[in-house]
Amino acid sequence: MSESTVRANGIDLAYETFGRVEDPPLVLVMGLGVQMLGWDQRFCEGLADRGHHVIRFDNRDVGHSTHLHGAPRPNVLASYFGDHSSASYTLDDMADDTAGLIVALGLDSAHLVGVSLGGMIAQMVAVRHPERVRSLASVMSTTGAMDVGQPNDAARAVLLMPPGAGREATIERAVAVSQVTRSPGFAFDEDALRLRARQSWDRDHDPLGAGRQLVAILASGDRTAALEGVAAPTVVVHGRSDPLIASSGGEATAKAIPGAELDLIDGMGHDLPMGVWERLYANIARAVQRGEDARAAGWPTDEGRG
């Protein structure tokens, strides 16, 4: 495992891989403001041990991928009230980044797993680039419809918390956010969270990047109608105790995508505690197998399905 960079969709994307290149490729798409370190290395290694060639990467505006420093300053509050004039890009652009990464790595297609914002991005890859998606796992995400997947008051408050002033304050902010969003039914590893927060700060720190990503979400609207055309084998996973994206978002996603499986997990919030890993592995494995079976039958093609 070593970090590399490729050019995709006009920007640089930093990525790392785990496992054997001959195994089915599995691209992991991370959530709002979180670097690829959000995919715990042990989780990635577990996926690789189960026969996947795992690729984790930094979305635009986080980590070592391209940051749009010259873009307009994101106005999150205005965007919440419908003024998206400060948006530098949308989920369509981030989906094109992911599809571009797949091509830049010399792959014709890959299985996608996305969490939160990453689930939204992965959904749009399946919409915009069906020929690139062998299967889709959308985890703790939503459709963009305003009547589903909304945060509770406490989660909305932490989402809008100002960035920390310095390294230690940023680490403490990460802990404070996790106290609200974490899974109440599973053990919380605060030491691992603090380590990741320190590593993330030392690797890169750009609070405006997270703001640009959030405005991109708000500016992208409702995907429900578009998701009805997704043909990739899909599994939707959501925590019943998710305070940041209510489980109604996952339910709506599964309802919109034809043939999607839905797994609602008791006690799971808006994180990936080690206690849910085995269940995630199993869900991902089922989607991957369905996708590999479809691929063996001649899909996806350059025209998608049909």
Give the domain 4-150+208-296 fold.
Answer: Rossmann fold (3.40.50)
Q: Which two tokens stand for residue 132?
A: 């690139």
**Which pLDDT belongs to residue 213?**
97
Give me the sign of the Cα torsion angle 84, 206, 63, 103.
positive
**Which pLDDT belongs to residue 298?**
85
Buried b (16+ CB within 10 A) or exposed e, 118-155: bbbbbbbbbbbbbbbbbbbbbbbbbbbbeebbebeeeb
Query: With a cut of 70, which residues of the chain have pLDDT below it?
Result: 1, 300-306
- Give the pLDDT confidence of 260-284 residue by residue, as tens digits: 999 999 999 999 999 999 999 999 9
Domain ranges for the chain, please list them. Answer: 4-150+208-296
Alpha-carbon gap, residue 154 to 5, rounded angstroms:
37
- Give the pLDDT confidence of 200-227 residue by residue, as tens digits: 999 998 989 999 999 999 999 999 999 9
**Which pLDDT belongs to residue 306?**
36
**Which pLDDT belongs to residue 304?**
44
pTM of the model: 0.95
**Which pLDDT belongs to residue 56?**
98
Q: Collect all residues with Cβ–Cβ distance below 8 Å to 296 and sequence separation of at least 6.
A: none
